[in-house]
A and B are shown apart, each in its own frame.
Chain A
Amino acid sequence: MGKTFAEKALARAAGISEVSAGQVIDARPDVVLSHDNSAAIIQMFYELGVKRVEYPERLAIILDHAVPAPTTRHAQNHAEIRQFVAEQGITHFFDVGRGICHQVLSEEALILPGQLVLGADSHTTHSGWMGAFGAGVGRSEVAALWATGELWLRVPESMRVILDGELPRGVTAKDFALRVIGDLGADGGIYMSVEFSGSGIAAMSVASRMVLPNMMAEMGVKNAYVTPDDRVFDWLAPRLARRTGRPVEECRAEIEAGALYPDPDARYAAEYHYDAAGLEPYIACPHTVDNVVPLSEVAGTRVQQAFLGTCTNGRLEDIAAAAEVVKGRRVARGTRFLVIPASSQVLQAALERGYIQTLAEAGAMIGVPGCGPCMGNHMGIPAPGEVTISTANRNFRGRMGTREAEIYLANPAVVAASAIKGAITDPREL
């Protein structure tokens, strides 16, 4: 019987030749990710009575959730983390303003295809875009990982989602992800490993691929996997070379050699096929991500805030799509348009290409790279009764800080068009 990606990746992470779905293994992750929550993890770590992190070089700590610090309490939190990082000799530390943890992990080539990342963040599934195994765990577990370097995991069953054909104009990876979540439900992939493949996936840019495993957290999956190819290796190689000072060619060969692919006769619990040509722009309506309808059904809904950013859709191609929509137009009166690049690299690239200029001219506000108001910390909290359209991955009640606010999720061009009109709008009709 062939092996799925999850079975191969977890066998590697456990250092054993073969594992099967259902088996419990002790995994040794290549990267252990945490962010602003590191301060709470530090407390737990010291409660264990341990003095030193077992493998400091495997930790990645990125400050992104409330940056720059909105309150003294948050600032103190950050300060405690900086002190711990210095004391423990943690080299992969990225201070406020560098970007959102999942984006930075990719840009710094800290995680590579075939590797395992466990993180104290539910969207750690994100790294599946390159064919890595990424799964979220709790804070106690990250403290345990810092102390021991290993954690038990159950090898998940796998399902496949195949996208064939070419996406129509104005339809993006975000729409595809929303459609899948709408079809299968918030628990449609519970406890599963989801493998994406097909010609529609292969045609996607790296930035678009990142959307898929990121969004899959909203379907309850343990991890998600996108088949890695040349596009992925070419994107990662110069980044790994920059970080390590090694030749690009050597890095590329190493990255490619580490990639894992499921066997053709691997066992899947379920398989879903989509024809790209049949997809359209979708919207997730309040207050659950699986409450998905075609955009046309909610077009015209008034919005007071449009938010473009987050680890889901805060990349250069997302900002480019928004800039194209707003060029020569103005944000509607009574609507605020907030744009927050996912990282400092994205911000710089968007500046160089003039997108930031275009967005600012249209009346958009530009924020510091980070999570922004995604989880209700600061910088764009809606008032009770207000409606936000956002490129984020979650629209739960209270998510952006206010229980009585509504959040609609959409692709970046739709969010930009809605900012211009002050109501949910299909950019193709502008």
Chain B
Amino acid sequence: MVTRGRVWKYGNDVNTDVIFPGKYTYTITDRREMARHALEDLDPNFASNVRPGDVIVAGRNWGCGSSREQAAICLKEAGVGAVVAESFARIFYRNALNNGLPAIICPEAVAALEFGDAVEIDLEAGTIRRGDDVWHFPPLPETALQLIQAGGLIPYLKRKLGR
């Protein structure tokens, strides 16, 4: 699985309240509509300019705070190909994989990548490329790859339960 796009770069401790504001959590249920509010309180330019395959690159503890799954869903629906961070808040990490959004830990790439860089990420090989630069991350575990391939936990489990 390979994803290609441009880098959107952010800092440390970005919380789910700014990724998807709490005031929408019970009023917006449509996934496309969620995408229109992605990162609303962090970067108002993001939702209207993000393109399919684009990659979010961030510092430590991406997705801390509320457990709201829409924080992962809105990014996935906005077309984000992967989030690369120094570390993830644990619930966001689970939510990302459970919605088919690759979450990659690679501090070296985070240190080097800049806003707007064109990157290519190979999930099976565990590589991030920018031109001739290559960074390696531990390839995702088999179950995580299966979740991403299936498009998330619900479709994955549906198949597993044989419904």
Residues of A that sit less than 8 Å from B by CB: 36-37, 39-40, 43-44, 47-50, 65-66, 71, 73-74, 77, 120-122, 124, 136-141, 143-144, 147-148, 152, 186-187, 190-191, 218, 220, 222, 288, 290, 375-377, 394, 396-399, 401, 403
Given contacts A187-B60, A190-B90, A191-B90, contact A122 B67 (CB under 8 A): yes
Given contacts A65-B26, A288-B13, contact A187 B87 (CB under 8 A): yes
Given contacts A222-B90, A376-B22, contact A186 B154 (CB under 8 A): no
28 sample A-B contacts, Cβ–Cβ < 8 Å, listed by A number: A37-B26, A37-B68, A48-B154, A48-B161, A49-B163, A65-B25, A65-B26, A120-B67, A121-B67, A122-B65, A122-B67, A138-B98, A140-B95, A140-B153, A141-B98, A148-B157, A186-B13, A186-B61, A186-B64, A187-B64, A187-B89, A220-B61, A288-B15, A375-B25, A377-B26, A394-B65, A394-B66, A398-B22
Our pick among B26, B41, B72, B154 for the contact of A66 (Cβ within 8 Å) is B26
Check B90–A220 contact: CB distance below 8 A: yes
Check A140–B69 contact: CB distance below 8 A: yes
Residue of B nearest to A124 (CB): B67
For A191, what are the chain B residues with a Cβ–Cβ distance below 8 Å?
90
Q: How far is the CA of A384 from the CA of B92 in the complex (A)?
A: 29
Residue of B nearest to A136 (CB): B67
Distance from A48 Cβ to chain B, minimum over Cβ atoms (Å): 5
B8-45 contacts to A, CB under 8 A, are: 12-13, 15, 17-18, 21-23, 25-27, 29, 41
B115-163 contacts to A, CB under 8 A, are: 143, 152-154, 157-158, 161, 163
Number of interface residues of B (CB under 8 A): 38
Q: How far is the CA of A398 from the CA of B42 in the complex (A)?
A: 10
Distance from A19 Cβ to chain B, minimum over Cβ atoms (Å): 18
Known: A40-B29, A143-B154. 19 other contacts (CB 8 A): A47-B158, A48-B154, A48-B163, A49-B163, A73-B27, A77-B26, A120-B67, A122-B91, A140-B98, A140-B152, A140-B154, A186-B64, A187-B13, A220-B64, A288-B15, A375-B17, A375-B22, A398-B22, A398-B23
For B91, what are the chain A residues with a Cβ–Cβ distance below 8 Å?
122, 136-138
Residue of B nearest to A290 (CB): B13
Distance from B83 Cβ to chain A, minimum over Cβ atoms (Å): 15
1/0 per position for B65-84, CB-CB distance to A under 8 A? 11111001000000000000
For A71, what are the chain B residues with a Cβ–Cβ distance below 8 Å?
27
Distance from A372 Cβ to chain B, minimum over Cβ atoms (Å): 13
For A44, what are the chain B residues with a Cβ–Cβ distance below 8 Å?
154
Check B154–A47 contact: CB distance below 8 A: yes
B94 close to chain A: CB less than 8 A: yes
Q: How far is the CA of A398 from the CA of B22 in the complex (A)?
A: 8
Residue among A49, A394, A396, A403 with the highest chain B CB neighbour number at 10 A: A396
Given contacts A147-B161, A403-B41, contact A141 B61 (CB under 8 A): no
Given contacts A65-B26, A186-B64, contact A398 B95 (CB under 8 A): no
Q: How far is the CA of A44 from the CA of B154 in the complex (A)?
A: 7
Check A49–B26 contact: CB distance below 8 A: no
Q: How far is the CA of A22 from the CA of B116 in the complex (A)?
A: 36
Q: How far is the CA of A282 from the CA of B10 in the complex (A)?
A: 29
Given contacts A137-B67, A398-B41, contact A144 B157 (CB under 8 A): yes
Check A50–B154 contact: CB distance below 8 A: no
For A47, what are the chain B residues with a Cβ–Cβ distance below 8 Å?
154, 158
For A77, what are the chain B residues with a Cβ–Cβ distance below 8 Å?
26
For A399, what are the chain B residues with a Cβ–Cβ distance below 8 Å?
17, 22
Distance from B65 Cβ to chain A, minimum over Cβ atoms (Å): 6
Check A398–B17 contact: CB distance below 8 A: yes
Given contacts A136-B67, A140-B99, A147-B161, contact A220 B89 (CB under 8 A): yes
Distance from B82 Cβ to chain A, minimum over Cβ atoms (Å): 18
For A74, what are the chain B residues with a Cβ–Cβ distance below 8 Å?
26-27
For B152, what are the chain A residues with a Cβ–Cβ distance below 8 Å?
140
Check B153–A141 contact: CB distance below 8 A: yes
Residue among B25, B67, B98 with the highest chain A CB neighbour number at 10 A: B67
For B72, what are the chain A residues with a Cβ–Cβ distance below 8 Å?
138
Given contacts A140-B98, A186-B13, contact A49 B27 (CB under 8 A): no
Distance from A152 Cβ to chain B, minimum over Cβ atoms (Å): 8
Check B61–A48 contact: CB distance below 8 A: no
Distance from A257 Cβ to chain B, minimum over Cβ atoms (Å): 31
Q: How far is the CA of A397 from the CA of B19 in the complex (A)?
A: 11
Residue of A nearest to B94 (CB): A138
Our pick among A122, A143, A222 for the contact of B66 (Cβ within 8 Å) is A122
For A187, what are the chain B residues with a Cβ–Cβ distance below 8 Å?
12-13, 60-61, 64, 87, 89
